[in-house]
Structure 1
């Protein structure tokens, strides 16, 4: 057995964001030849050991680019409100792709699929106010996402 690399990152579960999406619009095809979409953050919750609160309704959304090969390139931006009232800006970049054409078709129809049927990972950044949530602006995070009909649930891990 090989010893772990001495600089291998450690991570710790921080929180989960469950977000309801609404208002899907398409630009097909975009001037780039890809498909651009816009979907808005209608509402949501933040729950976990390091942060609890809500997604501020309609404070932003996701503007993904769907490549011809089926990979979706996310660029989501919206606001969170912590239980103590602090407002936190979030930008989420990442990728989603289905493991087969049949799974991609089911996802396009907004049907449930298994977590192992697709890859959906994000790398968020946060702009939090000084004080108890400042740590969010000082760490890297990785998110593992679940695609559920009309929503996303993303589990965030802070890299220590």
Structure 2
């Protein structure tokens, strides 16, 4: 996906993964919508300050039993969205706006059965985008796609990058 971004054909990544692999791979963080947050950042419940999890871990290692927010002394938690917890509205809005503004929506490695992220497919489609689904097995959105490619993502994506490059 980094190569597609560098080629100027990838403008946003909507992910439900919490591992920050897109960041680690080198994708532009401003283009990544982490719908379920991530396990490597903290957020303050009071003021909303977001920081790297390593800061809180270092403070625990230094002897703090329950590090508080450095700005307001509020409670820190992982930015990962837990069950019954609301999603971050601006992240969802940005993800759906990206889907509505794209020319092609490429859904990779998802069953497209978890909402609201799965709404990206019908949002893109209703805005006139082509939808391409690449997955190892059928998805709930295959019927809405213009192209469905089933197979090994680790083989298909490099071929796609070669085709666009």
Fold equivalence (TM over 0.5): no
**What band does the TM-score fall into relative to the shorter chain?**
under 0.3
Q: Which has the higher contact order (CA 8 A, sep 6+)?
A: 1
Q: Which has the larger radius of gyration?
A: 2
TM-score norm. by structure 2 comes to: 0.21
Higher strand content, 1 or 2 = 1
